[in-house]
Structure 1
Amino acid sequence: MGTKTIHINDSIIHYTVEGIGRPVVLLHGFGEDGTVWDNQVEYLRHNYQVIVPDIPGSGQSELTDDVSMEGIADMVRQIIDAEELESVVLIGHSMGGYATLAFAERYSHLLDGFGLFHSTGAADTEEKKETRRKGIVFIEKNGADAFLKTTIPNLFSERTKNTDPDLVKNFTAALPSFSKTALKSYYEAMIARPERIDLFSKTELPVLFIIGEQDSVISFEDILKQASMPRVSCIHILHQSGHMGMLEEAGKANAAIEAFLMELKQ
């Protein structure tokens, strides 16, 4: 157990493995590393094998030449192969959810189920693409750290910022360092990603949706519509959370993931 590595071309990719049981892969989002899942790892590791990668260019993982959603999906595939696993449950937060859908599209035979944690099957709107392009300009001019310290606090709900300002402050202060190249590459990859909403109606796999009612990034109404599409859909709403429910309502997030995993045992 502990930290392990794989190589993608000449880049070293780090991931952690904790616990024993059904394998669960937790995939973090933009501007984070695997430590964003620490609450969930601590909770789940007693009954599950929890695998948490740092995506290329994040945390301890070196940047690769492919951080498209498909490239990140292929990274997950290589970790599964390295661990000699027959199948996993894959849950992705935000950008990690986009990569989760790419994985489900390519490697559904390796999944027992998958989940979106504050994420969506929709492609970027033109307005969102333009916002990301402005972000790329800001990153190039001011640097990665300045960009994250400006944007990350806005991912939390107003309630969290008012009732638990230390959570927001401490998380922002402890953000991992990123290169400008990495952050710009993630944004370019998200701009380029295709829509995958139709995957929900096509999949035979159970799908978990964890939705933040106060999420300013993912439309609450739109993701509810998507959540009605799979044949087996498990929907959990975090009423007090914005885009960071694994921190804002950690206990409820843990319970939602565990309920989904228990459902898979039926």
Structure 2
Amino acid sequence: MPVVLLHAFPLSSAMWLAQREGLAGRCRVITPDLRGFGGSVLDEEEPSLDAMADDVARLLDAEGIDRAVIGGHSMGGYVTMAFCRRHPERVLGVILAGTKAGADSEAARLARERLAEAVVASGSGVLVEEVLPGLVGATTKARRGMVFGRVRGLVQAAPPRAVAWAARAMAARPDSFDTLAKLAVPALVMVGEEDELAPVPEARAMAEAAPDSRLEIVEKAGHLIAVEQPEAFNRIVAGFLATLAPAEA
């Protein structure tokens, strides 16, 4: 079963190392770099999550895959919901981790624009102050120095132009609760109990909106569940995939 995992902002597909290793025996794990991050190219197209979603569809075409489980963390979750809007016939199941279905408030949109301008003007170092603190939970900050250091390195490696492009794309995203309500496939919603960016009530609302969904709250994890608690993340995803296998078989 092909499973596409889309990374968080402002990281790259490198965040999925533990998933590529831990889930490899259960499914075909595909972890692309979203536009401009990691090894991917950023063109001159206007910022848009739809463009990122269409990139994923082209990737499936290139890999000869008709349908796949599509999942995303944070920004990757936004792209996943955009993919569900644009290519619903290609979705076997949905995984949404540390993300939100609601659109940005005006204050949040302005904050993203300020971040975009700051990172272009001053480089990715600004992300260490503005973004990094919210990416991991209190337990990771206090007890998992190596994990926090790894996340810091991934943040520092983010290309400024890609960061600005993605921030503006996220600011322009629509409300996706209608998208969740129209899902015709099972959905897994996952949230870290210490997540302050996309907290538990947001995840619960998403799970309630989707017709066939399950909500998993991961203890001692913040926003980046897959990095902070990779064993728990992999176990939950494997259990979800097992529920899809009989129907697909």
Task: Give the TM interval when normalised to the shorter protein.
Answer: over 0.9
Contact kept in structure 2, 1:24 and 1:88, CA below 8 Å: yes
2:75 pairs with 1:95: yes
2:184 pairs with 1:204: yes
Tell me which of 188, 205, 217 is aligned to 2:168.
188
1:26-81 CA-partner distances (Å, limit 9, x unpaired): 11121111110110110111121111101111011111234511001100000111
Give the structure with the higher percent strand: 1
Distance of aligned partners of 1:184 and 1:235 in 2 relative to their CA distance in 1, 3 Å threshold = same
Q: Which amino acid in structure 2 is aligned with residue 142 of structure 1?
A: S
Residue matched to 1:251: 231
Q: TM-score if structure 2 supplies the norm length?
A: 0.93
Q: Which amino acid in structure 2 is aligned with residue 74 of structure 1?
A: D
Q: Which amino acid in structure 2 is aligned with residue 38 of structure 1?
A: L
3-state SS of 1:214 partner: coil
Q: Which amino acid in structure 2 is aligned with residue 29 of structure 1?
A: A
Contact kept in structure 2, 1:92 and 1:116, CA below 8 Å: yes
Residue matched to 1:147: 126
1:176 deviates by 6.0
Contact kept in structure 1, 2:203 and 2:215, CA below 8 Å: no
Aligned length: 244
Tell me which of 230, 245, 248 is aligned to 1:265.
245
Residue matched to 1:49: 28
1:212 deviates by 1.2
1:174 deviates by 4.5
Contact kept in structure 2, 1:153 and 1:172, CA below 8 Å: no
Q: Which amino acid in structure 1 is aligned with residue 137 of structure 2?
A: S
1:178 deviates by 3.3
Q: Which amino acid in structure 2 is aligned with residue 191 of structure 1?
A: A
Contact kept in structure 1, 2:127 and 2:156, CA below 8 Å: no
**4+ residue stretches of structure 1 with deviation over 3 A?**
none
1:248 deviates by 1.0
Tell me which of 21, 34, 45 is aligned to 2:13.
34
3-state SS of 2:157 partner: coil
Whole-angstrom CA distance in 2 between matches of 1:88 and 1:138: 37
2:238 pairs with 1:240: no
1:225 deviates by 1.6
Root mean square deviation of aligned Cα? 1.5
| Percent identical | 30
Whole-angstrom CA distance in 1 between matches of 2:65 and 2:154: 33
Whole-angstrom CA distance in 2 between matches of 1:55 and 1:157: 24
Residue matched to 1:4: none
Where does the alignment leave 5 or more consecutive residues of structure 1 unmatched?
1-21
Q: Which amino acid in structure 1 is aligned with residue 205 of structure 2?
A: K
Q: Which amino acid in structure 2 is aligned with residue 252 of structure 1?
A: A
Residue matched to 1:16: none
Q: TM-score if structure 1 supplies the norm length?
A: 0.87
1:175 deviates by 4.1
Give the structure with the higher percent helix: 2
Distance of aligned partners of 1:170 and 1:51 in 2 relative to their CA distance in 1, 3 Å threshold = closer
1:219 deviates by 2.9
